[in-house]
Amino acid sequence: MDISIYFFVASCTFKIRKICTCQHLTIVKDALFMLQYMQYSNRHTHDRVFAHFLTKEVFVIKKIFIIIVVLLLAAAIGAWAFYSYNLSAVSDSSEKIVFDIKKGETVPTIAHNLKENGLIKNEQFVRLYLRMKKIDNLQAATYELSPSMDLDTIIDYLVSGKNIEPDAFMLTVKEGLNMRGVAKVIAENTVHEEADVFALLQNETYIDSLINRYWFMTAEIKNADIYYPLEGYLFPDTYQISSKDITLEDLFDVLLQGMETVLDQYKDPIGRSSYSAHELLALASMVELEGTNAENRNLIAGVFYNRLNDGWSLGSDVSTYYAFKIDMSSSRDLTESELNKYNPYNTRGPEMIGKLPVGPIAGPGRESIDAVMTAKNTEYYYFVADNTGEVFFSKTEREHQQIILSIKNSGKWIF
């Protein structure tokens, strides 16, 4: 047999073992041994050595191949078991669970809520499964589901949009709306008129019942100077409402429960605070209207705390707009008369040094409530925003006035 064939076989064997076992030195040694042996042996002996060497290598490759096949088979069985397990029902319980998908909720949120309600086994698997199946049309509705349903059945329900409350609809109350705005939203989406809303707010018996039911509501909301007792207490969010003829009492309960859910997270800090829940909501409502994002809202809250702690007036224009019932979208600046006139809401006016407005002036969102509850210490005492929504902070009156002048010169003054 030609020596080149032996060399070729040794070379191939070297590459095979490099991939499978990385025993380079052993292969080189075997190859050199073969070449040396060929110099002293006849052709028949060469063939016997080659056959023995080749048989040994084939056996090693077969062994490796079998191991790989076994491992792949085990992995496939494990993957199928995992797949089947997560597709199966959580239990055989026939319990009925009412499950809501709100408008705008994402797949990760829906999967998390399904897991929280004990309807699926693994939320990451559900997210991956929906992506693999290219299912992205889960419908906002209220469903009646059960732990005994397998995953495909649950998905079929969520895609169908079959609401257990056929007259239900989604109601959105935006952050920063005052009670006049909320009443308008209610009138546009239900059988009630704006006047009905204000009439209920004047019902003292009803207001007392709310004070008795919600821990964060006190007699402060009955202050005679307050325009609307529930101002700032109806949490802004998107809600599924059972029908357009829902009673106003039930509708207010939905929104108040939304606020309760948020404030429950801060119940202990509120209890330790030198401010009441009512005062903190008043502060958060100003932060809501003055800020544009979580970062600047946190700093704005810090500015307000600095001014309160040092006995300054808060000097917030948004409180003045509310005090005189001027719509902030009216595109007009406040007059000197309005700024300097006393009103228990007007933090720019006289007799308001170191004071909060008598009550909230709008519905604060989660971001603003969090900003008030977790405000960072800051050296700032002033802030002003331009017409792009960017907020500028300063430590002194001089710096503040320079920033205002710069904004006006750049054509970015709000009015």
pLDDT of the residue at 24: 47
pLDDT of the residue at 4: 47
pLDDT tens, position by position, 136-152: 899 988 888 999 999 99
How, if at all, do strands 382-385 and 391-394 pair? antiparallel
Handedness of CA 241, 217, 205, 343 (dihedral sign): negative
Which CATH architecture fits 97-160? 2-Layer Sandwich (3.30)
pLDDT of the residue at 393: 97
Tokens coding 102: 């709100």
pLDDT of the residue at 40: 47
Q: What's CA 187's distance to the chain center, in Å?
A: 30
Residue 89 dihedral angles phi and psi, to the nearest 5°: -65, 150
Q: How many residues in the chain?
A: 415
Spatial separation of the C-alpha atoms in residues 224 and 121, rounded to whole Å: 53
Instruction: Judge residue 262's burial from the number of C-beta atoms within 10 Å of its C-beta, 0-12 exposed, 13-18 middle, 19 or more buried.
Output: middle
Which residue ranges in the chain fall short of pLDDT 70? 1-54, 56-57
Spatial separation of the C-alpha atoms in residues 180 and 182, rounded to whole Å: 5
pLDDT of the residue at 12: 47
Question: pTM of the full predicted structure?
Answer: 0.68
Neighbours of 277 (CB within 10 A): 21
pLDDT of the residue at 45: 55
**Is residue 299 within 8 Å of residue 377, measured between CB atoms?**
no
Q: Any idea where the domains of the chain sit in the sequence?
A: 3-87, 97-160, 168-378
Interacting residues of 94 by C-beta distance below 8 A, sequence separation 6+:
146, 148
pLDDT tens, position by position, 149-187: 999 999 998 998 887 777 888 899 999 999 999 999 999
**Is residue 153 within 8 Å of residue 88, measured between CB atoms?**
no
